[in-house]
């Protein structure tokens, strides 16, 4: 079976305090508990466990959750970035976004800034109206405001036809009907799996991975974060690092990880569509391509940090 159909890569766009952390925590708690043909209901992570894991893995800003057979990678978007390119390179790893909006506050400047980027990158947003339990919630009005924002930002017809989910992230409930609280987050998971396209790309092609981000790990040094654009990546694999100017530096992948819950899990290999992080490339820059040594083909480089005005 093709592995890619069981992956979804998303980012959550939200203004500060609209509930992104709470929603991801709720998704983690319910991760893996919905299985169609299995009796066993997996253990649900409690808050203490989540806190402990968070403490250990401050570095791993990316998380993943499971809904049935599907792994949903949730890529962290910089909340306070003034750099359009920083947002852009993160959004280049995903195929869909959740636009999370507080049911009372409505869309705010950060919502607008990141949504604009997402729309420009042709991503199809799923609108999540959160905190519907607030006594002062004005759910229908906020949906209208979101619609106006899309129109204002010049969204395509298809993007304007966004699905809407109503949530109370704090209690882990989601619903498609704003008058019903919903039992759990199943409607949200379901909408993600149905509306966000599975990653494209050919697992049998030569490896191509865009360096979307780099992080520093005190034990392993520089870590590359990126999405396998085509082919497969293996730990220890000799690769070609293609620079912005097209020149090539031979290199080798070190230890390779995927994101599982709040942790990084070491794997021997990862297929096309997966978001991975790996060691081994000390002298690497964002926007470069990690490619097959025998058949190195460059991906379109991403722009590197040019400040863009937030309030445009």
Distance CA 132, CA 112 (A): 21
Site for ligand GDP in 162-201 (CB under 6 A): 168-170
Going 24 to 28 to 29 to 30, the CA torsion angle's sign is positive
What secondary structure does DSSP assign to 2-42, as a single string?
-GGGGEEEEEEEE-TTSSHHHHHHHHHHHTT---SS-SPPP
Known binder of ligand: residue 130?
Answer: yes
Task: State which residue, 101 or 286, has the beta carbon closest to ligand GDP.
Answer: 101
Query: Which of the stretches 32-40, 127-135, 209-217, 242-250 binds ligand GDP when contact is defined by CB under 6 A?
Result: 127-135
Q: Does 138 bind ligand GDP (CB under 6 A)?
A: no
Q: Does 14 bind ligand GDP (CB under 6 A)?
A: yes
Write down the H helix ranges in the chain: 20-30, 47-56, 84-91, 109-120, 139-152, 157-160, 186-195
Known binder of ligand: residue 71?
Answer: no
Taking the complex as a whole, the smallest distance from the CB of residue 105 to ligand GDP amounts, in Å, to 10
Known binder of ligand: residue 19?
Answer: yes
Query: Nearest to residue 53, comparing CAs of 98, 61, 9?
Result: 61
Task: State which residue, 24 or 299, has the beta carbon closest to ligand GDP.
Answer: 24
Task: State which residue, 12 or 242, has the beta carbon closest to ligand GDP.
Answer: 12
Could you say which of 111, 130, 230, 277 contacts ligand GDP (CB under 6 A)? Answer: 130
Q: What is the DSSP letter of 217?
A: E
DSSP-derived 3-state class of residue 4: helix
Residues of this chain that bind ligand GDP (CB under 6 A): 14, 16-22, 130-131, 133-134, 168-170
Give binding residues for GTP as ranges: 17-22, 130-133
């Amino acid at each position: 079976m093709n592995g890619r159909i069981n992956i979804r890569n998303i980012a959550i766009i939200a203004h500060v305090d609209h509930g992104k952390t709470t929603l991801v925590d709720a998704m983690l708690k319910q991760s893996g508990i919905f299985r169609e043909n299995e009796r066993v209901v997996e253990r649900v992570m409690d808050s203490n466990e989540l806190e402990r894991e968070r403490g250990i893995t401050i570095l791993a800003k990316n998380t993943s959750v499971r809904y049935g057979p599907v792994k949903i990678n949730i890529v962290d978007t910089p909340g306070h970035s003034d750099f359009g390119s920083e947002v852009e390179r993160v959004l280049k790893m995903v195929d869909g976004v959740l636009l999370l909006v507080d049911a009372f506050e409505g869309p705010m400047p950060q919502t607008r800034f990141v949504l604009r980027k997402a729309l420009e990158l042709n991503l199809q947003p799923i609108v999540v109206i959160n905190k519907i339990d607030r006594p002062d919630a004005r759910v229908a009005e906020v949906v209208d405001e979101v619609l106006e924002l899309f129109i204002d930002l010049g969204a395509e017809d298809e993007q304007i036809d966004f699905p809407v989910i109503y949530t109370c992230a704090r209690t882990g409930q989601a619903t498609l009907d704003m008058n019903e609280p919903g039992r759990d987050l199943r409607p949200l998971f379901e909408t993600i799996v149905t509306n966000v396209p599975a990653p494209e790309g050919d697992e049998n092609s030569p490896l191509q991975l865009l360096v979307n981000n780099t992080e520093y790990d005190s034990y392993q040094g520089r870590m590359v974060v990126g999405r396998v654009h085509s082919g497969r990546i293996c730990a220890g694999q000799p690769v070609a690092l293609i620079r912005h100017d097209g020149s090539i530096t031979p290199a080798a992948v070190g230890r390779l990880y995927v994101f599982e819950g709040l942790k990084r899990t070491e794997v021997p290999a990862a297929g096309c569509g997966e978001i991975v992080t790996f060691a081994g490339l000390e002298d690497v820059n964002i926007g470069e391509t990690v490619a097959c040594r025998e058949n190195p083909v460059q991906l379109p480089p991403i722009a590197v940090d040019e400040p863009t005005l937030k309030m445009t």
